[in-house]
Amino acid sequence: MVLVNAGGFTRGIDNTKNNNFMDEAPAKMIYLSSYYIDKFEVSNSKYTEFIIATDHPAPAYWDYRKLNQPSQPVTGVNWFDADTYCHWANKRLPTEAEWEKAARGPAGSIYPWGNKIEYSKANFAKGKSGQKYITDSVDAHPDGISYYGAYNMAGNVFEWVQDWYSSNYYSTDETRNPIGPQLQKIKNVEVISNKPESDLKKKVIRGGSWFAPAQSITTTHRFWNDPINNSYGVGLGFRCAQSLANDLEAEARSFYMKALILVGNEKYQKALLSITNALIGSPKNKEYRAFKMLIEKQLNP
């Protein structure tokens, strides 16, 4: 697994020229506690251990030789398969925000490796003659890893995450460890509260796949699938995450102390970023707010 440190990151984008990608807007600063995320997608080898230990049914395409090599990512799993595996491994599925931060890095890059598409750094449908159109091993494309060191966050297989899907979820005010829209019962029917009819009962999948086009492999691209369905099965897998036992207030205090040191060294721009992270973790703290105002005055006298 790789560590993703606590702090803020920019989720989503504002410049959505294509209406098909409006669910990626607006861009917003999100605070996440520290967490771990798998360095690689879960492989067939790892999933075999799970099947043997639990007698869990094998997924679709398990016997398809082009997809079942030990180092390839497991495919053909639905959301419940993925969730069950992660809990068996003493982990959990990442939230959508955790997945995006692990893919984008602190700079908010469009692709895990930067802002320019590079065909050699990911396995996706390039439309080129001779392309093999099948999954690569989970440790393929080391030159395309994310800032935090996660492999194949673009292409290879779509990846299940924890969250239910809502096309307008990014418009909500949830900015601290968001976990997505929640189900509620209306007339004994479970629905996602206050969401369009078309959004009901879908789980988010991320990252694009070997058969998906270039627009699906950006770090902000959102897609969805029925949790009991593996309709994208030949290109649908997952990776797990793990929480750290960190306290939000303690993390906020750490950012505040860092900001104090940076101000002492007259590094005001970095200090502003640090105190902003402190306020995301502890938004009502008057001491942090006052200190942020002092830093801003130094930057804009």
pLDDT in tens, 16-54: 666 667 899 899 999 998 899 999 999 999 999 999 999
pLDDT in tens, 170-180: 988 888 889 88
- Model confidence at 187, pLDDT cuts 50, 70, 90, reads very low
Res 191 pLDDT > 80:
no
Print burial letters for 88-124: b (CB count within 10 Å at least 16), e (below 16): eeebbbbbbbbbbbbbbbeebbbbbbeeebeeebbbb
Res 2 pLDDT > 60:
yes
- Model confidence at 139, pLDDT cuts 50, 70, 90, reads very high
Of 32-36, 71-75, 128-132, 207-211, which range is least confident? Answer: 128-132
Identify whether the C-beta of residue 236 lies closer than 8 Å to the C-beta of residue 75.
Answer: yes
pLDDT at 301: 75
- Model confidence at 199, pLDDT cuts 50, 70, 90, reads low
CATH assignment of 2-243? 3.90.1580.10
- Tell me the CA distances in angstroms from 19 to 14, 16, 22, 107, 115, one per residue in order: 12, 7, 5, 25, 21
Mean pLDDT, residues 72-91 taken together? 95
pLDDT at 246: 58
Provide the 3-class DSSP secondary structure of residue 257: helix
- Model confidence at 94, pLDDT cuts 50, 70, 90, reads very high
Mean pLDDT, residues 71-85 taken together? 96
